[in-house]
Amino acid sequence: MRKRGILLRGGGGLDEARARADGDTKRRLVRINAVAATAFVVGGSLFSLGALLAQGHVGGPRLPAVVFFAGGIFFTTGGYASVLQVANAPRGADPDGVVRAPEWRWWSTEPGRLDWASAVVLFLGTLYFGASLAVALFGDVTMAQEHRLVWAPEFVGCVLFLISGHLALTEMHRDRPRGRRADLGWWIVVVNQVGSVLFMVSAVAAFVRPSTGDELAVGIANWACFFGAACFAVAGAMQEFERP
């Protein structure tokens, strides 16, 4: 037996060691799942609140910006927790029957795995959103800078969210039996993808016309953001009941 790895070979204690390793991995993944789910519930709720404040002109432009920025922190937390879930998921046994429980990792590079790619792209999307929200809150920018530093990162973040959802759906349809596609995990991905579509609608509607300085459609931008964020909050609540 070699602990680093964790590499466990046969013998009388194999079943006990396997059970212990599986139990540790399960508890760890359940905690990470709870962090990710709660972060998306809180982040989505704050984004919805920010959209309502903006639509109702409550607190001027600054209060919604503060609420959005706080929500962005939770979205980024949920995105990174999703990466941790994939990086530390059990890999199963090799052809020789060796049980491998991976060491704890804070990051991994596994581009061949669709679930890894989906989680990393989602995390990158939250970083773009965070950059956009930070500039909107703390920056004093011209219209040209707003297009480049606020709207453009937000738009890129929306694109990355859509790509992440597409990768997750592709992974489910490729790797799951047909009868298991519509389970809780599948619905979580679908609801999140609906939210991503609405975020994209919001981003397009929020584009500021250079000629007038006005958004294309303020009401559509705010309400699409509200319902899109609500989708992420609902999906996060559903994820609370998912057991890795």
E strands, the chain, in order: 7-8, 99-100
Peptide bond connecting 188 to the previous residue in cis, omega within 30 degrees of 0: no
**Total domain count, the chain:** 1
What span, in angstroms and rounded, lies between the C-alpha atoms of 216 and 220? 9
Domain range enclosing 127: 7-239
Lowest-confidence pick of 14-28, 95-109, 227-241: 14-28
Q: What is the pLDDT of residues 137-187, one digit of tens each?
A: 998 888 888 889 999 999 999 999 999 999 999 988 876 666 555 688 889
Q: What is the pLDDT of residues 99-140, one digit of tens each?
A: 455 677 888 898 888 999 999 999 999 999 999 999 999 988
Helix (H) or strand (E) holding 44: helix 14-55
Average pLDDT of span 10-31: 64
The predicted pLDDT at position 195 comes to 98
Q: Is residue 23 one of the residues assigned to a domain?
A: yes
What span, in angstroms and rounded, lies between the C-alpha atoms of 119 and 103? 19
Give the number of other CB atoms < 10 A from CB of residue 87.
19
Higher pLDDT, 22 or 108: 108
The predicted pLDDT at position 177 comes to 61
The predicted pLDDT at position 12 comes to 47
Helix/strand/coil (H/E/C) assignment for every residue in 92-122 = CECCCCCEECCCCCCCCCCCCCHHHHHHHHH
Residue of 21, 140, 142 whose CA lies nearest to 88: 21
Q: Is residue 65 one of the residues assigned to a domain?
A: yes
Residue of 241, 196, 172 whose CA lies nearest to 44: 196
Q: Is residue 1 one of the residues assigned to a domain?
A: no
Average pLDDT of span 43-47: 98
Average pLDDT of span 211-239: 94
Q: Average model confidence (pLDDT) for the chain?
A: 86
Higher pLDDT, 54 or 105: 54
Q: What is the pLDDT of residues 58-78, one digit of tens each?
A: 999 999 999 999 999 999 999
pTM of the entire structure?
A: 0.85
Burial classification of residue 51, based on how many CB atoms lie within 10 Å of its CB (0-12 exposed, 13-18 middle, 19 or more buried): buried
Q: Is residue 2 one of the residues assigned to a domain?
A: no
Q: Is residue 183 one of the residues assigned to a domain?
A: yes
Place of tokens 């204690």: 13
Q: Backbone phi, then psi, for 107, in 5-degree steps?
A: -165, 160
The predicted pLDDT at position 20 comes to 58
